[in-house]
């Protein structure tokens, strides 16, 4: 497919992402499912362009607004090509000639030289305004205020780190195959692979690969799972015969990790409100040969259907839905969807979830509160609220569960506190609380 057609598809996909409330990756998946004529090369070109535009969307929209009387996604895309792809106007005119001609025939053409000059001038103004690093990095201007006070001074390196594309990370079922064997396998396929620094079961790959065609994946020996998420499994540290509840299981990454870490001996109840996700988890568990994961569909904020678990669980993980601010590297659309009201709404929901599922823990057991957010409102304040509202629980220092010098830099005031600019992982937070009465 020629570049004009590819660019047209990219602009169409950008429009769908901008108008949808769904995560960008879901919109992208549906877009390609409806356009099966696009080959792998075409999809790769479109996806890379679209995600680069989305990563810089707030800035690009501001530049387009300043340089076009009626800014469209066409101008947003072209300004991206000029300043981020570093294409000269004449090169754009040549590479996207058919696309530009289509717009001109409708009377909605673009003066590329004028657009380039205007956007360059506006960009210089923004770069010189040191008090406005948020726009330059395409973050909402209140982003820094949401961070813990301990890292607010580092807001610029935090934004820069979140704007870098995340590496591909897989988790190895080391009960059945060694991590070194997996590393050597990928190297034999011409894919650079290196062990993760903190997780003893993780491997980073140098590029994205289709795991569906790899036998290691088909046999459940490897799974996609970010290193920070793997560390949560290490904190939970499943023991034989423990009853463990993964209260917001989602796709089941942590349930599968816990099954592997316990050699299939812990009894893991994976709860979720979405039946389709649970079916997918069942298929993945079957692939790995794990019979100790029990998917259960639950109702929002109730214990309906899981009454028998109340007061009987050794450990409960509440990996609460959140803004996902720590995962912006792989989900850059979260930046332009972020609002203060969204943070408040998520925090309120998280409090309900934590209070609800804490009822499952038996005396002497533990609840692990986890988010992939780096915002205070969703993390420490939720924990503080819970401890003040339920006197049966006391907070326990995470270092009691994650011993070792190499982990000390991941722990702050007794919480797991991972930041991409420090650790090259997704931002993650975890707190451990013990039921003492």
Structural domain boundaries in the chain: 3-138, 167-225, 227-435
- The reported pLDDT for the residue numbered 337 is 95
- The reported pLDDT for the residue numbered 122 is 92
The residues that bridge with 272 in the sheet, in sequence order, are 297
- pLDDT of 59 above 80: yes
- Considering the four listed CATH numbers 3.40.1350.10, 3.30.70.1170, 3.40.50.720, 1.10.8.350, the one that applies to the domain covering 167-225 is 3.30.70.1170
- pLDDT of 179 above 70: yes
> What is the C-alpha separation between 212 and 177, in angstroms, rounded?
18
Task: Write down the CATH superfamily of domain 227-435.
Answer: Vaccinia Virus protein VP39 (3.40.50.150)
- Considering the four listed CATH numbers 1.20.1740, 2.60.40, 1.10.3210, 1.10.940, the one that applies to the domain covering 3-138 is 1.10.940
Q: What is the pLDDT of residues 409-435, one digit of tens each?
A: 999 999 999 999 999 999 999 999 999
- pLDDT of 301 above 80: no
Of 101-105, 314-318, 351-355, give the lowest mean pLDDT range.
Answer: 101-105
């Amino acid at each position: 497919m020629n570049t004009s057609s590819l660019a047209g598809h990219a602009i169409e996909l950008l429009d769908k992402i901008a108008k949808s409330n769904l995560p960008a990756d879901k919109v992208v998946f549906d877009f390609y499912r409806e356009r099966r004529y696009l080959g792998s090369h075409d999809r790769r070109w479109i996806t890379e362009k679209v995600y680069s535009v989305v990563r810089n969307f707030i800035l690009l929209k501001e530049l387009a607004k300043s340089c076009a009387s009626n800014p469209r996604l066409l101008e947003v895309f072209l300004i991206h090509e000029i300043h981020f792809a570093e294409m000269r106007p004449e090169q754009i005119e040549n590479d996207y000639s058919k696309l530009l001609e289509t717009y001109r025939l409708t009377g909605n053409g673009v003066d590329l030289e004028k657009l380039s000059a205007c956007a360059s001038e506006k960009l210089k103004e923004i770069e010189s305004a040191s008090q406005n690093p948020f726009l330059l990095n395409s973050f909402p201007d209140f982003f820094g205020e949401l961070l813990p006070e301990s890292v607010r001074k580092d807001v610029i390196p935090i934004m820069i780190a979140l704007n870098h594309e995340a590496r591909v990370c897989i988790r190895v079922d080391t009960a059945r195959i060694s991590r070194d064997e997996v590393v050597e396998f990928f190297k034999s396929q011409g894919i650079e692979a290196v062990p993760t620094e903190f997780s003893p079961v993780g491997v980073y790959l140098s590029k994205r690969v289709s795991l569906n065609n790899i036998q290691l994946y088909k046999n459940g020996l490897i799974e996609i799972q970010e290193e920070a998420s793997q560390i949560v499994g290490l904190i939970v540290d499943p023991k034989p015969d423990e009853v463990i509840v993964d209260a917001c299981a989602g796709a089941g990454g942590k349930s599968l990790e816990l099954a592997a870490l316990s050699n299939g001996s812990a009894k893991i109840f994976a709860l979720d409100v979405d039946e389709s996700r649970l079916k997918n988890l069942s298929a993945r568990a079957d692939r790995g040969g794990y019979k100790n994961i029990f998917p259960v569909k639950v109702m929002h904020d109730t214990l309906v259907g899981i009454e028998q678990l109340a007061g009987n669980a050794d450990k409960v993980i509440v990996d609460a839905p959140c803004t996902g601010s720590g995962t912006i590297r792989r989900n850059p659309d979260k930046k332009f969807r972020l609002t203060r009201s969204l943070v408040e709404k998520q925090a309120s929901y998280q409090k309900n979830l934590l209070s609800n599922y804490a009822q499952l823990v038996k005396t002497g057991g533990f609840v692990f509160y986890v988010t992939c957010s780096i915002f205070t409102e969703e993390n420490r304040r939720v924990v503080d609220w819970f401890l003040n509202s339920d006197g049966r629980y006391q907070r326990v220092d995470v270092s009691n569960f994650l011993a070792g010098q190499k982990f000390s830099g991941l722990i702050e005031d007794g919480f797991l506190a991972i930041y991409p600019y420090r650790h090259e992982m997704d931002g993650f937070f975890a707190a451990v609380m013990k039921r003492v009465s």
